[in-house]
């Protein structure tokens, strides 16, 4: 055969293959581009959802109440769908269409989580006919909504003991059930490092003392509405007047010493010898509280005192020091088999609680934390599998919705902070079907004081730092205080006033910051330049090392400020199980 004939034959064979390969490569590239684009759109919409949730919680005095939280969640979900639709607007997918491809949204909160998905509405069998007829949703009707709150709980049976432990994002637990033949309903923080020396409580050897609420770091700005029926009323410490219309003043942003108790901020108005709180932008006087109760901030002492007493009850009264993961049972009280055991690693759950050296129960690598994460993961995973699977029954699309496999680092995100995880499945992206999910954490919130939530404020320079910032080694810490990161977030208040000329009732949003200090560039604005925090150690690990330094060193003083602030802010959080008498001063 002539060379020319071979060349022609080669072209006839190779050219179509090259065209096909080029077309295939081009389609694959387009598919990958769409994959990345859709991932980005989903991530942005999820971020918008968590940001809306964060803002609503920060600006609501009742965000701890279930009905209020449901309202905030619904607003966040609406934001997610609006944002998703806007990002997908150029692709031809509208909001109603996109909703068909979102099988579930999960909000992981402090001690449990909500799942937003499709479910069958169920009315109580004893519901009267009149109520059934008036019900918004009928019995058996399929609706999209927020399902009941699910706690991070596990059941245990040991001899005659039968009880449930509810875990949280930190070391706070609640125990409910029968132990030693008695009914138990107890809760508290688990801390190995807390000890009692005389009348003083120490943590990791550091004595915890009361704080002076007159320190500048305890003052916070708050919007005080103008009382029109009392024109002579002028709050003390005025720093700014909010003028909503020329010649009309609606209120003031004022600065007062502040103390948080059970989720409520109380302000000390020393000029008028009055303590007050703000509820839905209204000032409410607290006649049962004194100025001294606010200015003498002993929250940190109470936090470590309660943790010490709880430790004693766990070890000596409930005898849970030998409780193991093999004592866990399913919801029906049956022992797990080897095939269905969600806790395959044998752990003595509270083994580190009595330790005063080495690994503490609150440390990241403790048996308790290993089991706590297993409980949270098992609960979310098992219920989410059911929710997404059930979505196949109500979806009008031909997509096979399924729970994806989450990576270990993604489970870490879900178990270390308040987060939201969204799913988007079934969209055609050319070479394959898009199945994506996105996780975004809420690092600044009112529900959870994490070990990364505390900043150190230098009252002299009015600048705040992360506790691991090396600049703090050159600062006089006698004039410093630990501050909760949420106190640097912007607040919104609704100012209402009247136009005297027209008698109109008008409204205006007022924006302000509880604290107006400057952020450290090296640790807050650009945290990658924070010296010690870049060596892969967590804040908790570094503070543990600082506590072992000489008591005269700056590092030791930093640890004292940090642990005091952490205890103060955690004790100030809303906890349902806390005796209400603890909040009355």
What DSSP letter does each residue of 432-456 carry, written as one string? SEEEEEEEEE--S-SS---TT-EEE
Q: In the listed set 414, 441, 468, which residue is the last one of a domain according to the structure?
A: 441
Number of domains the chain is built from: 2
Specify the DSSP element, H or E, that contains 305. helix 299-312
For residue 164, what are the CA distances in angstroms to 56, 86, 174, 188, 375?
A: 32, 44, 8, 14, 12
User: Quick check: 115 and 106 in contact, CB under 8 A?
Assistant: yes
Contacts of 426 (CB under 8 A, 6+ apart): 100, 101, 397, 399, 401, 433, 434, 435
Q: In the listed set 441, 467, 495, which residue is the last one of a domain according to the structure?
A: 441
- Domain match, 421 and 467 both: no
- CA 569/CA 170 separation, integer angstroms: 13
For 122-144, the pLDDT digits (tens) are 666 565 555 555 555 566 667 78
Q: In the listed set 441, 466, 496, which residue is the last one of a domain according to the structure?
A: 441
- CA 241/CA 252 separation, integer angstroms: 5
What's residue 239's pLDDT? 46
Q: The domain containing residue 47 runs over which residues? A: 3-123+139-151+366-441
Quickly list DSSP for 80-115: HHHHHHHHTGGGT--HHHHHTT---EEEE-SSEEEE
- Domain match, 419 and 458 both: no
Handedness of CA 411, 373, 574, 567 (dihedral sign): negative
- Domain match, 459 and 569 both: yes
- Domain match, 145 and 218 both: no
User: Quick check: 75 and 56 in contact, CB under 8 A?
Assistant: yes
User: Quick check: 499 and 245 in contact, CB under 8 A?
Assistant: yes
pLDDT beneath 50: ranges in the chain:
24, 63, 227-239, 244-247, 529-534, 578-585
pTM listed for this prediction: 0.87
What's residue 47's pLDDT? 95
Contacts of 217 (CB under 8 A, 6+ apart): 457, 459, 480, 481, 482, 483
For residue 162, what are the CA distances in angstroms to 25, 181, 432?
A: 61, 9, 50
The rounded radius of gyration (Å) of the Cα atoms in the chain is 28
Domain annotation covers residue 408: yes
For 464-507, the pLDDT digits (tens) are 999 999 899 889 999 999 999 999 998 888 877 766 666 777 77
User: Quick check: 81 and 424 in contact, CB under 8 A?
Assistant: no
Domain annotation covers residue 103: yes
Q: Is 98 left (phi over 0), alpha (psi -120 to 50) or beta?
A: alpha
- Domain match, 278 and 370 both: no
Give alpha helix (H) positions in 318-404: 367-394
Contacts of 237 (CB under 8 A, 6+ apart): 254, 255, 256, 271
For residue 446, which phi and psi values (nearest 5 degrees)? -95, -5
What's residue 231's pLDDT? 41
Quickly list DSSP for 457-505: EETTTTEEE-TT-GGGGGS-GGGEEEEEGGGGS-EEEEEEEEETTTTEE
Structure tokens at 369: 């934390």
Domain annotation covers residue 534: yes
- Domain match, 436 and 455 both: no
- CA 493/CA 513 separation, integer angstroms: 11
User: Quick check: 510 and 242 in contact, CB under 8 A?
Assistant: yes
- Domain match, 18 and 144 both: yes
What's residue 580's pLDDT? 35
- Domain match, 30 and 100 both: yes
For residue 110, which phi and psi values (nearest 5 degrees)? -65, -50
- Domain match, 434 and 518 both: no
Domain annotation covers residue 163: no
The burial of 431, by beta-carbon neighbours within 10 Å (0-12 exposed, 13-18 middle, 19 or more buried), is given as middle
Structure tokens at 467: 């506790």
Domain annotation covers residue 514: yes
- Domain match, 437 and 394 both: yes
Q: What is the DSSP letter of 262?
A: T
- Domain match, 516 and 579 both: yes
Domain annotation covers residue 470: yes
Structure tokens at 216: 């500048």
What separation, in Å, do the N-terminal and C-terminal C-alpha atoms of the chain show?
105
Look at strands 161-166 and 153-158 and give their pairing. antiparallel
Domain annotation covers residue 319: no
- Domain match, 271 and 411 both: no
Domain annotation covers residue 159: no
């Amino acid at each position: 055969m002539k060379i020319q004939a071979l060349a022609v034959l080669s072209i006839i064979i190779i050219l179509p293959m090259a065209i096909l390969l080029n077309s295939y490569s081009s389609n694959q590239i387009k598919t990958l581009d769409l994959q990345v684009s859709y991932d980005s759109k989903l991530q942005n919409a999820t971020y918008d959802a968590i940001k809306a949730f964060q803002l609503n919680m920060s600006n609501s005095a009742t965000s701890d109440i279930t009905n209020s939280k449901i309202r905030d969640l619904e607003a966040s979900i609406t934001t997610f769908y609006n944002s998703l639709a806007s990002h997908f607007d150029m692709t031809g997918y509208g909001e109603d269409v996109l909703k068909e491809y979102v099988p579930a949204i999960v909000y992981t909160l402090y001690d449990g989580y909500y799942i937003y998905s499709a479910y069958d509405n169920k009315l109580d069998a004893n519901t009267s006919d009149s109520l059934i007829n008036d019900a918004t949703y009928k019995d058996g009707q399929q609706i999209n909504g927020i399902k009941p709150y699910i706690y991070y709980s596990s059941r245990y049976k040991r001899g005659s003991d039968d009880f449930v432990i509810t875990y949280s994002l930190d070391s706070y637990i609640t125990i409910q059930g029968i132990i030693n033949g008695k009914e138990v309903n107890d809760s508290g923080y688990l801390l190995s490092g807390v000890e009692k020396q005389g009348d003083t409580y120490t943590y990791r050897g550091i004595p915890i003392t009361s704080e002076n609420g007159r320190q500048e770091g305890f003052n916070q700005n708050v919007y005080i509405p103008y009382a029109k029926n009392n024109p002579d009323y002028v709050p003390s410490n005025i720093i700014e007047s909010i003028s909503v219309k020329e010649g009309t003043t609606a209120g003031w942003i004022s600065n007062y010493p502040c103390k948080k108790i059970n989720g409520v901020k109380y302000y000390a108005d020393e000029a008028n010898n009055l303590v007050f709180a703000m509820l839905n932008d209204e000032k409410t006087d607290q006649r049962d509280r004194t100025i001294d109760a606010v200015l003498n901030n002993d929250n940190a002492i109470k936090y470590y005192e309660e943790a010490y007493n709880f430790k004693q009850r766990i070890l000596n009264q409930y005898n849970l020091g030998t409780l193991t993961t093999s004592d866990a049972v399913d919801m029906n009280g049956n022992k797990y088999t080897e095939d269905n055991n969600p806790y395959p690693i044998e752990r003595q759950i509270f083994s580190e609680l009595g330790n005063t050296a080495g690994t503490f129960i609150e440390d990241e690598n403790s048996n308790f934390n290993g089991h706590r994460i297993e409980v949270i993961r098992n609960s979310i995973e098992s219920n989410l599998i059911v929710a997404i699977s059930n979505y196949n029954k109500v979806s009008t699309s031909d997509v096979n919705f399924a729970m994806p496999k989450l990576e270990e680092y993604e489970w870490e995100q879900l178990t270390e902070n308040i987060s939201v995880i969204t799913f988007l499945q079934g969209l055609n992206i050319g070479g394959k079907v898009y199945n994506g999910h996105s996780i975004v954490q809420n690092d600044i919130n009112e529900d959870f004081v994490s070990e990364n939530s505390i900043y150190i404020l230098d009252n002299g320079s009015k600048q705040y730092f992360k506790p691991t910032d090396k600049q703090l080694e050159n600062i006089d810490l006698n004039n410093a205080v630990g501050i909760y990161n949420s106190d640097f977030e912007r607040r919104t208040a609704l100012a209402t006033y009247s136009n005297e000329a027209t008698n109109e009732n008008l409204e205006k949003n007022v924006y302000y910051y509880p604290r107006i200090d400057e952020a450290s560039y090296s640790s807050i604005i650009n945290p990658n330049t924070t010296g010690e925090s870049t060596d892969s150690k967590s804040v908790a690990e570094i503070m543990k090392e600082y506590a072992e330094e000489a008591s005269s060193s700056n590092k030791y003083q930093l640890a004292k400020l940090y642990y005091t602030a952490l205890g103060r802010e955690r004790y100030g959080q809303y906890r349902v199980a806390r005796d209400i008498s603890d909040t009355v001063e």
